[in-house]
Amino acid sequence: MTSPALQQAEAIGTVDGPLAGYHREWYVVRPQGELTRLGRVKIGEPREGALWFDRRYFASEDELLLELARLGVPRVPPVHRVRSTGTVFHGFIEGRTLAALSPRGHPVAPAQLRQIMERFASLCRLRPGDVRARRLGGERSGDRISGPGFLHGLLEFTRERAYRARLPRFAPLFDRLGVPRDALGPRSRLAADAALLTDRPVCLLHGDLHRANFIVDPAGTLWTIDWELASFGDPLYDLATHLYLMDYPAQQHAEVVARWRRTVAPLLPGAETQLAEDLPRYLGFKRAQSVFTDVVRQAVAVADAVGSAAFADRLGQAAKLVHDVLLRAAEPLELADVPSPGAVELAYADFCTGPDGPLPAHG
């Protein structure tokens, strides 16, 4: 059955897509008629069965992008609407992802790093009252939460939605990998670290600033895409998320932290307070959060490959990735022991080919 997004795409032009996207199914279209002037555009819809591990804040990414345009935020995808049909689509940013130009773990070129700092500057200028896009549930009570309350909220969401809600299906796998059942609980190390955080002024956060969400156009301009996880909160959390996902080499990691401080401090006084103490606490949470994300995502990916020629390779890739994630999270999750790559591979093989059969590709 043809998806509504594909039907809409075919109605306005020639379809080049689809594009890879985790939360949305995207189609790239070359519009015809009066829309030709827009160049290639994207039409998308929520991806069926996508697993959500992060808290969503805004009701609509489209609405947020329109607000960012109204507020003059540069280098974000434009949003267009066909009034006669109500079809909404995004401008397609021609270029290459930063991930393609500079893979994870590699240094980022100076010109691109400068533009990443400009993105942080544009974010910290936007306070809760500036952005009129609807919040989910219509609530604005979370707009001004930072410090301990902000991270406690993230811990609670991860504990309840990304872990406990999945225990009926994934508990044997988490247990086999040695993840403690109370690793995110109120007496955990992560909760104790959250209680020590400093309150900071709140600003807009992108929430997912990694290499695949930066597009470098032919002129060398860096665009930021995928705003679905945007929220208001502690600006230091956005930096921590960025550092974790980018995985800069050690020297550039330190440079990014120093440049972030110099960039943000004059624009959002107080944002840099207790940076040296609080940044490791947020990074500890990101390492722990990745365990609950990647253990499940990799299980679904391995299960999808059961019975195919790709199964052995997919199993090996999953084992290496999950082993690395567990190693990075050993301290914040207080893991007594991290299983070897071989033990992780065996755990996945047993779980995904067990009597219950392959896992469903949804949460």
Same domain assignment for residues 129 and 111: yes
Same domain assignment for residues 122 and 261: yes
Same domain assignment for residues 34 and 126: no
Same domain assignment for residues 228 and 332: yes
Same domain assignment for residues 37 and 7: yes
Residue 223 — very low, low, confident or very high, per pLDDT cuts 50/70/90? very high
Residue 339 lies in a domain: yes
Please spell the DSSP secondary structure of 85-149, one letter per residue: T--EEEEP--SEEHHHHS-TTSPPPHHHHHHHHHHHHHHHT--GGG--SPBGGG--TTTT--HHH
Please report the pLDDT score of residue 153 as a whole number: 93
Same domain assignment for residues 1 and 130: no
The CATH code of the domain that includes 345 is 3.90.1200
Same domain assignment for residues 116 and 200: yes
The torsion angles phi and psi of 214, rounded to 5 degrees, stand at -110, 125
Please report the pLDDT score of residue 328 as a whole number: 97
pLDDT of 273-305, one tens digit each? 999 999 999 999 999 999 999 999 999 999 999
Q: Which of 10-14, 94-98, 254-258, 288-292 has the lowest mean pLDDT?
A: 10-14
pTM (2 d.p.)? 0.92
Same domain assignment for residues 141 and 34: no
* pLDDT higher than 90, residue 4: no
Residue 82 lies in a domain: no
- The boundaries of the domain holding residue 17 are 1-50
Please report the pLDDT score of residue 151 as a whole number: 95
Residue 88 lies in a domain: no
* pLDDT higher than 60, residue 321: yes
User: Apex CA 333: angle with CA 250 and CA 301, to 5°?
Assistant: 80
Same domain assignment for residues 287 and 311: yes
Residue 8 lies in a domain: yes
* pLDDT higher than 70, residue 333: yes
* pLDDT higher than 80, residue 255: yes
Same domain assignment for residues 307 and 351: yes
Same domain assignment for residues 270 and 355: yes
* pLDDT higher than 60, residue 362: no
pLDDT of 145-181, one tens digit each? 888 999 999 999 999 988 999 999 999 999 999 999 9
Q: Which of 41-55, 205-219, 223-237, 259-273 has the lowest mean pLDDT?
A: 41-55
Residue 162 lies in a domain: yes
Contacts of 344 (CB under 8 A, 6+ apart): 177, 318, 319, 322, 323, 326
Same domain assignment for residues 97 and 41: no
Domain count along the chain: 2
Q: Which residue has the higher pLDDT, 145 or 240?
A: 240
